[in-house]
Structure 1
Amino acid sequence: MTNPITKLFTREADKIKRDGLAARMRRWFKEISRPFSIALAIPPVLIMRVMRPWKLIRFCAFYTPAIGHFAANTELYLCERDAGINLPGKPHRDIFYLRAGKTPCNWQLLTMWKRVLRVWPTWIADPMVRVNRLIPGGEIHQVPVEPWISISPANTQFDSDVHNLLDRFAPHLGFTEEEEARGKAGLRAMGIPEGAAFICMIVRDGAYWSKLNAIASHRDSNIQDYVLAAEELANRGYYLTFRSFREAVSQFYIG
């Protein structure tokens, strides 16, 4: 029978080969520090509970695996907030955070959401959420999620604008002057003159979210099917940029 300690070291050695020593050390640190972070989260959670009659603190995890939900769900949360929809009916403050171990699908979008939302570091918010769930009565401190799918923030209908709020409210996101300058420089690098009309064409294929492709392949397309449309737009004076998840841009053929 293999010694359990030997098995442990063998397993960790395999993980180091797979992930690298630095990644494993970060994982070890998280596992070791987790009990301490949970313990440190207990006092602020108790204070949060005591404050509830005067100020309700709610936590909401970003839904970050897919950029569509990361953008649309969050934008509609803000629109519904501005319209007074799905609010708790008392003074409150919503705090957003990234779930522990989750990597956002788009760092630029996260940077921009941080400008308009109150976003706490994961190492602070996640332990507080865990402790809050352990103490009965903590549901009110979470931005409610639809009962059959855990996508946050919860809106009337996820990323569907059923109240036509996008027509009523200005976008909550905007680029800084520095970001605008970077974007213009990128366009010039692609040969697109400043002020010229351009279209970004993104075509989904089987390489996008490949783990779920078995149930979502009906949404895939082929970038070559857009040749006629691209030619017509080019003839009308538009510049086009292309993005296909499987095929390189150079494979898109016109003419």
Structure 2
Amino acid sequence: MKYLFKLLRIISGLVIAIAIRIVLPIRNYKFGRLPSHEIGHYASNVEIHLCEKDAKIHGDSKKTADIWYRNPDHAVANNQLDTMWSRVIKISNSPITRYADAISRRLPGGSRFSISHHDRDAYGLYGKFQPHIKFSNSETKQGEDFLNSVRHTPSQKFVCLAVRDSSYKRDQFENRDIRHDDYRNNDISNFYNVAEQLALDGFLVFRMGAKVERPFGVDASGVFDYASNGMRTDFLDVYLSANCEIFISTVLGIDSIPEIFRVPRVLTN
């Protein structure tokens, strides 16, 4: 039975791939596979694509309709980011979309019906356009309620700190050899002093991360080992990263969140 379903999806995908070519003079439909399994690419690739559409880098965007679909082979990296993108772009949940895209790529002129996306702001568009996603009123209240529960004063500012290790990638891609990326890792203890100094200067400090190899180990008021103390949620990953005063990072996926929200970053390794 599963082979019958697959055959029907292939046939449906072929019909769609042909149909979008027929309607091309009226509307250009493009398929895009979201890098939804990696938070960094899910953030920056989509934001940069939308900025480039606004700037008409690749032609008139008014006649182009983008149809996205999630990576079917992996879980979504961050559900809050996925929710926010779903408000802005068309994300298809139909498995047929995947087949339509795959078939369309193999037909003549396939690249014309495929979204090419990347994670580099090559045209400097972040400084020209506002972020394409924003928090709803209820989400903003949720985020501020959390911050007010840990702030010493209502207006206290905060900094996010993200230090790369192998824990997250090892968990996500357990059947893949990821040692080639080990050179990007850093020792969290190298950031003890900066966290303590920021706390002395009146900032809250959140050590970020979905999975980390070991606790932060800084015993200072206002420094939170958010990654391992039970605070962490998909929502707060995005909210804190988007609203911090500055984001300090050793260059890993989550630092794309402050980037797409135009938050200043300090990148080091």
CA separation in 2, counterparts of 1:38 and 1:135? 14
CA separation in 1, counterparts of 2:2 and 2:140? 38
Greater relative contact order, per chain length (Cα 8 Å cut-off, separation 6+): 2
Which residue of structure 2 lines up, in the alignment, with residue 67 of structure 1?
39
**Equivalent residue for 2:16, pick from 44, 57, 61:** 44
Mind listing any 5+ residue stretches in structure 2 that lack a counterpart? Answer: 171-175, 222-269
Task: Give 1:135 shift.
Answer: 3.6
Does structure 2 conserve the Cα–Cα contact (< 8 Å) formed by 1:184 and 1:194?
A: no
Corresponding letter in the other structure for 1:252: V
1:89-128 equivalent positions in 2, closer than 5 A: 91-128=63-100
Which residue of structure 2 lines up, in the alignment, with residue 252 of structure 1?
218
CA separation in 1, counterparts of 2:91 and 2:98? 12
TM-score of the pair, normalised by structure 2: 0.70
Does structure 1 conserve the Cα–Cα contact (< 8 Å) formed by 2:54 and 2:61?
A: no
Where 1:52 maps in the other structure, the secondary structure is coil
Which residue of structure 1 lines up, in the alignment, with residue 124 of structure 2?
164
TM-score of the pair, normalised by structure 1: 0.74
The 1:213–1:194 alpha-carbon spacing in structure 2 relative to 1, beyond 3 Å, is farther
CA separation in 1, counterparts of 2:80 and 2:196? 31
Task: Give 1:134 shift.
Answer: 4.7
**Equivalent residue for 1:207, pick from 167, 170, 175:** 167
CA separation in 2, counterparts of 1:240 and 1:111? 26
The 1:31–1:241 alpha-carbon spacing in structure 2 relative to 1, beyond 3 Å, is farther
**Equivalent residue for 1:224, pick from 178, 183, 189:** 189
The 1:81–1:212 alpha-carbon spacing in structure 2 relative to 1, beyond 3 Å, is farther
Corresponding letter in the other structure for 2:134: G
Question: What percent of counterpart residues are identical?
Answer: 27
Does structure 2 conserve the Cα–Cα contact (< 8 Å) formed by 1:55 and 1:91?
A: yes
Corresponding letter in the other structure for 2:80: Q
**Equivalent residue for 2:134, pick from 171, 174, 183:** 174
Runs of 4+ that moved beyond 6 A? none
Superposed CA deviations along residues 60-116 of structure 1, whole A, max 9, x for unmatched, are 111123211111111111111111112378822111111323322111111111111
How many matched pairs? 214
Where 1:209 maps in the other structure, the secondary structure is helix
